[in-house]
Amino acid sequence: MSDKGDAEEEPPHLLWGLDPVFKAFARLYVKDILQMRQSRQVPGIYFYKTHPVFQVDVLGTVVYRREREDFCCYGVDDSTGVINCLCWKDEKWRDFGDSVKGRGGGVFDAEEQLRKLREAQRSRMELDIGDVLRVRGTVKTSRQQREIMASCFYKVSDPVMAVQISRMLEMPSLYRDCYDRPFSVPPHQAGTAAAAEPGGLSDFQLLLGRAGRILKEFLREKEVARFRPYDVEYLLHPLLPRPAATPSVGQELPSAAPPFATQVWNLLKDSLKILQDEGEIFRKVLSPDEVYNVTEQDKDLLAAIMDVLREDSKREKYTEKGCHVLHVLSSVRQRYSRNLSREALQVALRLLECNSDIISTTDSHYTVL
């Protein structure tokens, strides 16, 4: 596959939903999943060229298998590369026993039919090396390795390779007609108050997007843990036109544009609001001294989350699935900050999961490793 366009600038995250690839399970080659670049705007989102991706659909041969009590790890090879797929075992297989017997005599037994159905379904989820596996799930990075956290997986019965051949014929057309084509926003959907530009974005949206990226890159590169608005205000100065030189005597000042300092401050406030909405920053204490905490650099916040999960995961109520995200949010608010947003908690949970400190058992439940 050509890498042309990989370096193209990311579209603003507010427009990702207009790309049909974003909400779909992208049928990408494993090689491309392993090489996708991570978004600079939102952790956990990856880009294939200009398309935002976080869910994928993979079909391949199992080349290794590692089983644990609660999950199995399968190495799936689609002939372009091998990717690790983490597949959770279904709790119902443990609870369902073989003690249910049929009544016989030709009488329809609903429980017996249910047992047979579950046995058939279980057999489709027990895989070994050499089996063909189809996996749908979210892309994760764990221990610096790209993997798939499966939301759906099953063994494919393909004795004459009909399914694999069909997919091999389908993939090139998907790439040609969809994935390799640049993501472009229809002008009538991108604009808000201002008229849309040829690319579909207003001047203010473009300016706001650049300001947000500058702030994010600065906070990450410098590993800033806390800051005040005036600490980063100077970063946005190059984005706005400088005021004109002092007019001579008798020359009138233009009155259309607000002062330069006001423009910078308004742009900064809007950018910080977006970062708060994304969970990148939050205010631990609401006070006149406006201090923002950077979520990923807040060691005390990460420690508080780990303490909650470590303690509550031992309770009988949470031993199976772990703690629900709302329970974690409530507990951390009591321990650390009443102003912590759910978005900031999600950013912290994703970071801990990427560092392999915790693991998600469902989309909303977490537990310690």
3-class state of residue 70 by DSSP: coil
Q: Whose structure tokens read 């998600």?
A: 360
3-class state of residue 141 by DSSP: strand
Report the pLDDT averaged over residues 336-354. 92
Alpha-helix runs per DSSP H in the chain: 20-23, 30-35, 92-95, 110-124, 162-174, 187-190, 203-221, 229-232, 260-278, 299-312, 325-335, 342-354
Report how far apart the first and last C-alpha atoms of the chain are (Å, whole number).
37
Residues of the chain with CATH 2.40.50.140: 13-90+125-179
What average pLDDT is seen over the chain?
82
Q: With bands split at pLDDT 50, 70 and 90, how would you rate the model's confidence at 172?
A: very high
CATH for 298-368, among 1.20.1250.20, 1.10.10.10, 3.40.50.360, 1.10.150.20?
Answer: 1.10.10.10
Rounded Cα distance, 70 and 91, in Å:
9
Q: With bands split at pLDDT 50, 70 and 90, how would you rate the model's confidence at 327?
A: very high
Global pTM exceeds 0.85: no
DSSP state of 192: S
CATH topology of domain 13-90+125-179: OB fold (Dihydrolipoamide Acetyltransferase, E2P) (2.40.50)
Q: Whose structure tokens read 């600038």?
A: 9
Asked whether residue 97 carries a pLDDT value surpassing 50, the answer given is: no
Residues of the chain with CATH 1.10.10.980: 201-241+259-295
Q: With bands split at pLDDT 50, 70 and 90, how would you rate the model's confidence at 219?
A: very high
pLDDT of residue 68: 82
Residues of the chain with CATH 1.10.10.10: 298-368
Q: With bands split at pLDDT 50, 70 and 90, how would you rate the model's confidence at 122?
A: low
User: 201-241+259-295 maps to which CATH number?
Assistant: 1.10.10.980
